[in-house]
Structure 1
Amino acid sequence: MWFFGIIAMITFVTMLVFGVLSIFSLKTKDDKGKRNIIVASSSLGICIITFLVSMALYGNHLENEEAVSKMNEEQTAVSNKLDKEIEDKQTEYTQKELEVNELNTKIEENQKEFEAALAIVEDKEATEKELEKLDGQIKEKKSEVDKINDDIKKKKDELAAITGQIKEKKDAPVTLSAGNFTVGKDIPEGRYKAVPNGGAGNFFVNDGADVNIMIGKGEFYESEYVFDAYEGDEIEITTSVKFIPVE
């Protein structure tokens, strides 16, 4: 820019100098003076053309400089906009990263809780299996105890029948006709001596599991039979039987 200013200044000074020389040459009337006028005019024309060209170049330079300045401003605005967008995206990325970290932390905590709950469930299942096993053993032992009690009751009845050491109680005997009866409902619980009441037939207790005889008179019949009647026992007789309480 300063270069074009200097050219314009030199052109203006040159024009001024040649203008002054032309004025002085006009005062001379000889051929030499005329030649000087022609030279001065030519020089003045060249100076004017040079000046105009310089001014045109200067104007073009100003336009170019304004365009460059405008372009630089636009580039700066675009660059600032892009920088702002990049900064916003960076902030958004940082926020999302924090959220992801929080979610990972929650997942780890929930995983620990799940593993603890799973361990409790597995321990519970193992305990339930152990309880089922123990319950089965208890039932098995109870069955064995019941069987032993039944054996003891039978042996006592057999012993009492063999030794004849039966002492009748003062309680009134209970006479039942043929049919099915329940101890505790039709006849009290206790120890009895069963004798036929004028007939003969089968005598079962609990479907023959505890007592299974034929009671009556004759070679194949029992004339009397001592047994223990427990609450809930089922008695089945096909003839009338008298149940005498004994000790």
Structure 2
Amino acid sequence: MEKLKGWFKSKKVWMGVAAIIVVIVAFGIGSSSAKVTLEGEKVSYNDLLEKVEEAEKDLSDVEQQIKGKEEELESVKKDKENQINDLEEEIKATKNELQGEESKLAERQDEFDELIALVEQRDDLKNEIEELDGHLTGRKDELETINNEISDKEKELEKLQGVISETGEQPIELIAGLYTVGSDVPAGRYRATNVGRGTNFFVYDSSGYPKVNQILGDGTYADGDFIFNANDGDTIETLGHIKLIPVE
């Protein structure tokens, strides 16, 4: 645009304009031989025509240049508009991508929150396990104490059984049934043992109160042999084949 302004300020252009005015005046006078002073020089009608033609040519050139500049400006404008449109599309795509990333981030945040909750649950479970381990350790200590007590009792029982000895009298075999001490079985001290499979063994006093309730045998729930005192009036009940061995 500055260049175009320079053209309008050109000396040639204004000369052309002035020449046109002079020509009009000359025609008005009607003399082709008249001379006028132009920029300090006297010029003839023909000279003015030449200058007018030159001015018209210069004006045409200026108009062409202006048109070219306008077209160039329009092209530049379109290019800039296209660039702006491209930038707007790029910004729009970037915004969409940013929204997508924000959505992914929100999902990741939910996953992170769930992970934190799982970690907290794990810590709680770990604390519970530690507490249970503490209780279990205490139970193990109690069990060990009980096992030691059982071992001591078994040793005492072995000592007692070692003291007890058979009298040498004939053992009494009983099959499943009820027996009265004094009439069916002599009163005395006996070691009851099973014959074959284990069995339940009971002894009731004269009032019917149970004195003995054992499982004879070597099974998982059996108690093994059992030593007891049979008094007159007691009732012996066995659910299987047993043997009563007299002992001292």
When the two structures are superposed, what TM-score results if normalisation uses the length of structure 1? 0.56
Give the match for residue 48 of structure 2: 40
Contact between 1:15 and 1:48, CA under 8 Å: does it hold in 2?
no
Summarize deviations over 1:121-150 as a string: whole Å, max 9, x none: 233334334323422332331232233244
Deviation at 1:10, TM superposition (A): 5.5
Aligned mate of 2:102, from 58, 69, 94: 94
Summarize deviations over 1:16-48 as a string: whole Å, max 9, x none: 314324535763568x69x61221122122112
Summarize deviations over 1:152-178 as a string: whole Å, max 9, x none: 4555x57xx8xxxxxxx734458xxxx
Contact between 2:16 and 2:54, CA under 8 Å: does it hold in 1?
no
Give the match for residue 182 of structure 1: 194
Tell me the number of residue pairs that the alignment of Structure 1 and Structure 2 aligns.
Answer: 189
Equivalent residue of 1:27, what SS?
coil
Aligned mate of 2:66, from 58, 62, 66: 58
Give the match for residue 31 of structure 2: 27
Q: Give structure 1 regions of 4+ aligned residues with deviation exceeding 6 angstroms.
A: 183-186
Give the match for residue 72 of structure 1: 80
1:17 counterpart = 2:29: no
What is the rounded CA distance, in whole Å, between the counterparts of 1:12 and 1:122 in structure 2?
A: 109
What is the rounded CA distance, in whole Å, between the counterparts of 1:149 and 1:29 in structure 2?
A: 167
Can you give the 5+ residue segments of structure 2 that lack an aligned partner in the other structure? 37-42, 168-180, 187-192, 204-217, 219-225, 230-237
Deviation at 1:61, TM superposition (A): 1.4
Identity of aligned residues (%): 10
Give the match for residue 140 of structure 1: 148
Q: CA distance change for structure 1 residues 120 and 76 in 2, over 3 Å: closer, same or farther?
A: same
What is the rounded CA distance, in whole Å, between the counterparts of 2:73 and 2:56 in structure 1?
A: 25
Higher helix share: 1
What is the rounded CA distance, in whole Å, between the counterparts of 2:23 and 2:68 in structure 1?
A: 28
RMSD of Structure 2 on Structure 1 (CA): 4.6
Can you give the 5+ residue segments of structure 1 that lack an aligned partner in the other structure? 162-168, 175-180, 191-205, 207-226, 236-241
AA aligned opposite 1:141: E
Contact between 1:21 and 1:40, CA under 8 Å: does it hold in 2?
no
What is the rounded CA distance, in whole Å, between the counterparts of 1:16 and 1:72 in structure 2?
A: 42
1:131 counterpart = 2:131: no
When the two structures are superposed, what TM-score results if normalisation uses the length of structure 2? 0.55
